[in-house]
Chains A and B, each alone.
Chain A
């Protein structure tokens, strides 16, 4: 039963990660491409890591939980890097399928305190 769950998690996780990369290769402009890797790939790798934690708890003597650490880290960093990339793209004024925003783009004083997330 647990083996079935692990297999399911592995295949779904890899499937999601693959779909994320497919979005990266397939979509038409930078801002839409950003969506695939930030969401699908993060959840996909999260699934794989949970499967790994279950697997090593199953075959080892003790419960293995340190994969949770990488999962948490990925879920915290993926949106931050997506935000940074989008900011860089807006700064460079990349072509976009969507109408570019009328947003106060001047001034670099946007200081998000990412370190204060815990």
Chain B
């Protein structure tokens, strides 16, 4: 099974991406998409041998919804900060201790942090235990860490790790 279908989740995702790319849902394209979805993971299995498991798919959907809303809110915040006076900004580096350990969860978390609340993730420590984050305007690092941990990291840990 593992030889034949290395990443079972990836096959439908790739098929859908192919259908989006050719912008049609003819049956021939669906077959071709499924074929590519089978072939590409098989050819690239060497580059990412670890298996990806999603333990709580429904929670993932809910998380993506919250995330989308947060992106829009964060954009209004950033727009306000950019249009305001640059002198009043209080940029800050914050180091966040990580609870999640898998590479996928960490990269997911780093991307979510970069896209949402006035913060950009800048560096993961070599031992994967700390994440360095740059905040655009923040005076209370403890509150920022608490928000990120409860709002983003806890759900991600439940979704990707057992």
How many inter-chain residue pairs (CB < 8 Å) link A and B?
Answer: 154
Inter-chain contacts of A105 with B (CB < 8 A): 123
Tell whether, in the assembled complex, residue B78 and residue A116 are in contact, meaning their CB atoms are under 8 Å apart.
Answer: no
Inter-chain contacts of B24 with A (CB < 8 A): 62
Tell whether, in the assembled complex, residue A69 and residue B123 are in contact, meaning their CB atoms are under 8 Å apart.
Answer: no
Inter-chain contacts of B78 with A (CB < 8 A): 19, 23, 35-36, 39-40
Interface size on A, residues (CB 8 A): 55
Bound Cα distance A23, B103 (Å): 32
Overall SS of chain B's interface: helix
Bound Cα distance A27, B114 (Å): 18
Inter-chain contacts of B111 with A (CB < 8 A): 76, 79-80, 83, 117
Inter-chain contacts of A27 with B (CB < 8 A): 82, 86, 89
Query: Contact mask A90-105 → B, CB, 8 Å, 1/0?
Result: 1000001111110111
Tell whether, in the assembled complex, residue B20 and residue A68 are in contact, meaning their CB atoms are under 8 Å apart.
Answer: yes
Query: Contact mask B93-125 → A, CB, 8 Å, 1/0?
Result: 101000000011011101111110010111111
**Cβ of A75 under 8 Å from chain B:** yes
Inter-chain contacts of A28 with B (CB < 8 A): 86, 89
Additional 6 contacts, C-beta under 8 A, given A34-B120, A69-B17, A79-B121: A66-B21, A79-B114, A104-B126, A113-B104, A116-B107, A117-B107
